[in-house]
Amino acid sequence: MRRTREFRFPKQQRKVFAQATQLVRILVLATSISAVLFYLVKGKSSAMQAAWLESLVTLLPAMIFLITSQFSRRFPSGRFPYGFHRAPSVGYLGGSVVLLVAGAYIVLSSVFSLAQAPPPAIGIAVILGEPLWLGWLMLPVLLYDMIAMSMLGKAMLPLGEQVHDKQLHAIAEMAKADWLSDAAAMVGVIGIGFGIWWLDGVAAIVIGVDVTKDGISNTRRAVEDLMDATPTTVDRKQVESTVPEVAEYLRSLPWVDDASVRMRDEGHAIFGEGFVVPKPGTADLVDKLHEASEHVARHHWKMAELSIVPVRRLPAHLEIEDPPLPYFEFVRERGTMMRRTLKRLLPRVIGDRGKEG
């Protein structure tokens, strides 16, 4: 069986990828420290409990990335002729589902305890023989997590883009957005401090919703990846430029009448087919095909392998489609639609009633 060409990052990207992996290691370390600190100071606050659970489950995608990215550039084998580029995507799906389940658990248990459990109170810890209110320890721990996560997330975000790694991008995005849960937990702790006990439960619900949101959007993305969606930029806002560029290049060749492409993204490597209709009587077709595929390999590092197939007619042509709106923008769009419809309908309904009255 033929195996795919070995995929290697260009020099610049290799350096960036090593840097990014290092940052993920630091992220794992920083998050582990947060998890331990949260556990030590969480007391009876459900917001702190939620923050602790969150730090545990967000540790998962980062750790999965570290493990699977070791596999991903392994040499293709007889058993896995397409290579191991999908390994991180598979891990990513697993991590996202865990995030989703954990988020739902945090929401449900927080709602339950807000409705049923007695109001929480925070007591003391004894540090070097001196009693100290635990809240004074919770707030700095939350502040540490907030600063560490947003700094690491901000540093990682551009790197994920440069190496076209969606998992890296997702991890960076989650870390960067983590300040929201920390801020929510702070509000919960301060709430207990002011005797506004329910703020703690509300903060825990906010954290749970945040985790669930991450779980939903990441599961959706992981499924898209595994379903061979057209390659997109790492932020998934538009089609990866390699796709139309390669199609354009094939169409521009003097011996080609028409051409189209079909591509899929396997991690940071894009695989796919280019279909070309050679002009009648083209000589040395094999050499020309070879030349074209070499050109693409030289000019598009994200393209791991392009099989160029000469055909009589193009297969039923599909327009390259932009990715859909991210989930929550999609929901928002739906909301606006409903509001608009309601606005149009309500005056009629009310107006009719008014006439009757």
Please choose, out of 19-27, 74-82, 133-141, 335-343, the segment that lies near other proteins by the rule CB under 8 A. 133-141
Question: What minimum distance in Å lies between the beta carbon of 171 and other proteins?
Answer: 15
Q: Toward other proteins, which CB reaches closer, 119 or 324? A: 119
**How far is 7 from 149, CA to CA, in rounded Å?**
32
Decide: is 194 part of the binding site for other proteins (CB under 8 A): yes
String of contacts with other proteins for each residue 135-164, x by CB under 8 A? xx--x---x--xx--x---x----------
Residue 195 lies near other proteins (rule: CB under 8 A) = yes
Which of 111, 190, 277, 297 binds other proteins (CB under 8 A)? It is 190
Picking from 1, 2, 29, 4, the residue whose alpha carbon sits closest to that of residue 267 is: 4
Q: Output the DSSP codes for 166-193.
A: HHHHHHHHHHHTTHHHHHHHHHHHHHHH
Number of H helices, E strands in the chain: 10, 5
Choose between 147 and 337: whose C-beta lies nearer to other proteins.
147
SS3 sequence of 315-335: CCCCCCCCCCCCHHHHHHHHH
The span from the CA of 168 to the CA of 142, in Å, is 24
**Stretch in the footprint of other proteins (CB under 8 A) among 188-196, 203-211, 243-251, 252-260:** 188-196
> 82 to 121, contacts with other proteins by CB under 8 A?
118-121
If the CB atoms of residues 32 and 150 are measured against other proteins, the closer one turns out to be: 150
Q: Which of 41, 170, 186, 256 binds other proteins (CB under 8 A)?
A: 186
Question: Which residue in this structure is represented by tokens 């992981």?
Answer: 222
Q: Closest Cα partner for 191 from 262, 120, 278?
A: 120
Interface with other proteins, residue 297, by CB under 8 A: no
**Which of 73, 176, 262, 302 touches other proteins by CB under 8 A?**
176
Contacts with 170 (C-beta within 8 Å, 6 or more apart), sequence order: 61, 92, 218, 221
Q: Does 40 bind other proteins (CB under 8 A)?
A: no
Question: For the chain, how many residues are written?
Answer: 357
Binding range to other proteins, per CB under 8 A, among 8-16, 129-137, 220-228, 314-322:
129-137
Give the residue, chosen from 28, 66, 196, 297, that forms a contact with other proteins under the rule CB under 8 A: 196
User: Which H helix or E strand runs over 214?
Assistant: helix 198-226
Q: How far is the CB of 154 from other proteins (least distance, A)?
A: 8
Q: Which of 80, 105, 179, 255 binds other proteins (CB under 8 A)?
A: 179
Round to whole Å and give the CA distance between 79 and 59: 31
- Per DSSP, the residues of 236-267 read SSSB-THHHHHHHHHHHSTTEEEEEEEEEEET
Which residues are bridge partners to 264 per DSSP?
271
Binding site residues, other proteins, CB under 8 A: 44, 118-124, 126, 129, 131, 133, 135-136, 139, 143, 146-147, 150, 154, 176-177, 179, 183, 186, 190, 192-197
